[in-house]
Chain A
């Protein structure tokens, strides 16, 4: 365990070095939030509510959703890269769980971005755009748990793409397809309240809305009491399902690796 904690710490420390990088990151996240909010402000015009959804709710959705989108970034090509440069062989020679190690690397990155990108952008957005306060103090805690689970879903999904590197030499196209689905169906481009109900029915059977939208709904109090636990359960189920798929790919992929270069 200590090895993996050490890895999280090392990645975190490695990130701290690139100061310009995280300042630009904050600016980029803030710009995305401001632009989306400005568009929706224009769309709302004089309306206070559309379909029972207020502009403030939409804004809050974007601040949290886009904020998390920028924090949750998992390198889909990590295994592809290791296979290409041959470092995968070196890692196989270490008594470590390689997938846990990759997760630890990802967690180091995510923790870093939550602290240096999500939180500053959130504070800036609260000051300059205004965000709805959470319905109550408990909702903050509940939605934070949901954020962690949401990350789990997102990571497991990316992990599947990572594993495809055993079959395809370039995972870029698969990764792009996945990102399009996540952007559209997870509510980062269009808040899921405005999705046509027919599409929404389909989305309910996909993992995508459990990534960003569930935490937002809990924060806003749209889900409360027993519902919260049902949605946690849904998130957990998706983690288990997607992770199992990734495990199967890992087991079969490991058998067919060819070490590049001698």
Chain B
């Protein structure tokens, strides 16, 4: 077993928030004796990530995803706990460490607003001291894969969101980092643009073995790109494993929709909840462990006049929504 590329153990990040009081007397009191409340953005998180993995890092808004990414990328200091990435402690050896990583923030561009894209790339070449050959190779590769020739000479402020995002991704990968963080890279993009970015990320991971960590609210992103899934909520890790494992653990609930020839009463079946829908349709929900799909179907077909059957496989999106709604308590 190789040493994991990223190892995070018992990391906690506490923000001190000034508690504001309404009303003038309260505000004056607050000015003189400010009261602070500790907010745990990240609470005792531990995980390992191996080299070459693509990891989906998901959780509802405010779960602590971005805080974790910022600690992993050396921007924030953790309040306690230890982080080791590729032999560095990110926040302590920031200047050396960051030349091995790339970061893409979907909501914030790293490129200079007024400069043409290519000028920003040139600047990055200097900052990261990228050798000439590597720079040229990467530039050609990215502008082909991401289709950037048409806008590479335009200032960033004139680009569409999709174009800007592609430029940002290329910028983060120019120096061939070992590890790339994507913080919501497909936010606000249309279906085609999303697909193109997913393909690109997939390609880079396969060809160059770059390790990637991915936060997104788009479950299709996660399903199509990621091998491993880490779910956090309220600053705590609630799942860590591969996607099929996730479906098994949380997707035990299965669903069968049956359309009957005519309205009929169905006697209770043990372990199955039945719900009536329109047009003589009924929905059968059950747990895979309690009831076999096969036996349920055959018993229905034998006893009633069945017109059509639909088996609904658990979708990650639905499962994740259920987890978020439960508020992280499994």
Contact = CB atoms under 8 A, between A and B. Distances in A.
A136 to B, nearest CB: 43
A255 B77 contact: yes
Interface string A220-262: 0000000000000000000000000000000000111111001
A98 B222 CA distance: 35
Interface in A1-40: 2-3, 6
B270 interface: no
Given A255-B77, A259-B70, A95 B127 contact: yes
Contacts of A2: 126
Contacts of A94: 98, 127-128
A256 B77 CA distance: 7
Interface string B220-235: 0000000000000000
A134 interface: no
- Secondary structure at the B interface, as helix, strand, loop or mixed, is mixed
Residues of B in contact with A, size category? 20 to 34
Interface in B239-263: none
22 contacts: A2-B126, A3-B126, A3-B127, A3-B129, A86-B108, A89-B75, A92-B74, A92-B75, A92-B98, A93-B73, A93-B75, A93-B98, A93-B101, A93-B110, A95-B95, A95-B96, A97-B95, A254-B77, A256-B77, A258-B76, A259-B70, A259-B76
B70 A89 contact: yes
Contacts of A259: 70, 75-76
Contact of A262 (B77, B94, B103, B107): B107
A257 B76 contact: yes
B15 interface: yes
Nearest to A256: B77
Q: Which of B73, B94, B128 has the most C-beta atoms of chain A within 10 angstroms of its own C-beta? A: B94
Given A89-B75, A255-B77, A95 B107 contact: no
Contact of A96 (B101, B107, B110, B127): B127
A90 interface: yes
Contacts of A95: 95-96, 98-99, 127-128
